[in-house]
């Protein structure tokens, strides 16, 4: 099913699209992280005169992995502190992937540090590892708290494993993940009390305090202070809830000075609805219409307890919105022609881009059934206004393959593609787009998967 109109005059003669400069933020962030790791290794190097024997090699390997693990903990906290500069330039999903990969490395480093230090000390003391573990935990300063932090960190790593995440709700996983902060807090004292590179080294201690206090300040400010301040300032409330498709509703909100939020089409907020059963968690949902000075709208599909409950929201319900977040915006665009490829409720951020992106834009919207095509009347109206094309594809009618997409969108390889949909559809679409000749750098997608 296709809604078409003649090519728009302004699509070819209107405002010329200029390729935006490629963001240097990901490279700068990587460079800063690597420089910090090098500084940590330099601390060990300058504080170590010689490494002698098996015990010395094991113990120093434990020192190195411990220093890197302590540094990595602070980096992980900063990556997920929701700092706008990082979020808008790198993207929420990319930061989440970096955080997840960094988490795996951190747990591995902590494990290596623990095992190597125990082994090295037991070799030096000519005792078994069990006895040496008991001596370290019970008699070294702050090591009992450090052990509790170590166990909490392992627990957090276990619940973050993909197999475990699939068996729990987003809300449960989210709150269990807060144990990471407690684990880092418990382990911090041990690093300064027992770390050979910090004992008696005041400059190193001050630098470590600055690193951790800076990371903590970013978390407190951006994850707690800013949301509360914005909630009090903008006074968001629900005005209406409308059904858009089976299991899909739009929540309309009003508030004060909403233009000060600075949201861009394609971005999302984390929404906290201050009503029974919903106030304790903030879930991410994209705006499904461009923000207005006194009006915001999200469109949500029931996929869990939180999203299903939004259909029952009463007008007047107070709302706190954290954000805007994400880099799924016009800033990613690099080509003159754009394809928006949506699957299911993934239409929500693409609907805003369909209305606002300048130049030639084509929308392909896939759904399981015709009745699942949410916001269709609005999309048709936008297509008519822009004099462009919308292709509605119901599963089974057209496969998601390179030839099929190329038939729908002539010259596909020269397009930028904004992609949003369920994980399985997204993976299939990326393969099809790559097979059709679309460079990976021109395929833009952002996921809320946890």
pLDDT at 279 over 90: no
43 close to 197: Cβ distance less than 8 angstroms: yes
Closest to 214 (Cα-Cα) out of 78, 113, 121, 97: 78
**Domain total of the chain:** 3
- Same domain for 193 and 103, yes or no, is yes
Tens digits of residue pLDDT in 202-258: 999 999 999 999 999 999 999 889 988 888 899 999 999 999 999 999 999 999 999
**In this structure, how many other beta carbons lie within 10 angstroms of the beta carbon of residue 241?**
17
- Residue 448 pLDDT: 56
Closest to 62 (Cα-Cα) out of 7, 17, 117: 117
d(CA 346, CA 426): 10
pLDDT at 7 over 80: no
Domain final position from 228, 251, 270: 228
- Residue 1 pLDDT: 53
Of 9-13, 159-163, 318-322, 330-334, the least confident: 9-13
Residue 278 lies inside a defined structural domain of this protein: yes
- Same domain for 43 and 188, yes or no, is yes
- Provide the whole-model pTM: 0.78
Residue 385 lies inside a defined structural domain of this protein: yes
Strand order through the sheet with 361-367:
2-3, 389-394, 361-367, 338-343, 416-420, 443-445
pLDDT at 348 over 90: yes
3-state secondary structure of 18: coil
Residue 250 lies inside a defined structural domain of this protein: yes
- Residue 231 pLDDT: 87
Tens digits of residue pLDDT in 61-99: 999 999 999 999 999 999 888 888 888 888 887 888 888
- Residue 449 pLDDT: 52
pLDDT at 402 over 80: yes
- Same domain for 99 and 224, yes or no, is yes
- Same domain for 172 and 148, yes or no, is yes
The beta strand positions in 311-430, using DSSP E, are 318-325, 338-343, 361-367, 389-394, 416-420
Average pLDDT on 1-28 reads 47
Average pLDDT on 414-431 reads 92
What range defines the domain where residue 89 resides?
A: 25-228
Residue 450 lies inside a defined structural domain of this protein: no
Average pLDDT on 369-381 reads 92
Confidence of residue 106 (pLDDT cuts 50, 70, 90): very high
- Same domain for 433 and 339, yes or no, is yes
- Same domain for 72 and 151, yes or no, is yes
């Amino acid at each position: 099913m296709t809604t078409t109109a003649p090519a728009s005059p302004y699509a070819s003669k209107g405002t010329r699209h200029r390729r935006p400069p490629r963001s240097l933020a990901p490279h700068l962030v990587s460079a800063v992280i690597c420089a910090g790791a090098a500084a940590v290794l330099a601390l060990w190097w300058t504080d170590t005169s010689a490494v002698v024997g098996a015990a010395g090699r094991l113990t120093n390997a434990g020192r190195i992995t411990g220093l890197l693990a302590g540094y990595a903990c602070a980096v992980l906290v900063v990556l997920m502190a929701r700092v706008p500069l990082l979020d808008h330039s790198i993207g929420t999903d990319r930061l989440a992937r970096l955080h997840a990969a960094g988490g795996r490395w951190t747990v591995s480093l902590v494990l290596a540090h623990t095992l190597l230090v125990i082994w090295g000390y037991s070799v030096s003391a000519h005792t078994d590892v069990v006895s040496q573990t008991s001596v370290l935990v019970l008699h070294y300063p702050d090591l009992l708290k450090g052990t509790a932090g170590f166990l909490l960190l392992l627990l957090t790593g276990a619940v973050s494993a993909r197999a475990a995440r699939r068996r729990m709700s987003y809300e449960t996983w989210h709150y269990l993940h807060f144990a990471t902060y407690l684990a880092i807090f418990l382990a911090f004292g041990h690093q300064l009390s027992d770390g050979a590179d910090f004992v008696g080294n005041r400059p190193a201690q001050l630098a470590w305090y600055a690193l951790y206090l800076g990371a903590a300040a970013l978390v407190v400010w951006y994850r707690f202070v800013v949301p509360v301040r914005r909630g009090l300032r903008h006074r968001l409330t629900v005005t209406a809830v409308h059904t858009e498709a089976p299991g899909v509703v739009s929540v309309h909100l009003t508030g004060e000075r909403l233009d000060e939020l600075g949201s861009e089409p394609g971005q999302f907020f984390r929404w906290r609805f201050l009503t029974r059963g919903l106030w304790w968690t903030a879930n991410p949902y994209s705006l499904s219409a461009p923000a207005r000075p006194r009006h915001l709208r999200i469109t949500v599909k029931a996929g869990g307890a939180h999203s299903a409950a939004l259909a029952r929201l009463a007008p007047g319900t107070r709302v706190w919105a954290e954000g805007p977040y994400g880099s799924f915006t016009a800033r990613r665009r690099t080509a003159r022609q754009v394809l928006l490829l949506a699957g299911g409720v993934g239409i929500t951020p693409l609907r805003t881009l369909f209305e606002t992106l300048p130049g030639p834009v084509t929308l392909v919207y896939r759904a399981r059934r015709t009745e699942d095509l949410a916001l269709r009347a609005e999309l048709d109206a936008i297509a008519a206004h822009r004099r462009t094309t919308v292709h509605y594809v119901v599963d089974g009618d057209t496969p998601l393959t390179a030839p099929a997409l190329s038939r729908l969108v002539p010259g596909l390889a020269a397009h930028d593609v904004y992609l949003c949909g369920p994980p399985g559809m997204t993976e299939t679409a990326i393969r099809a787009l790559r097979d059709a000749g679309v460079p990976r750098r021109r395929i833009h997608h952002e996921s809320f998967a946890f």
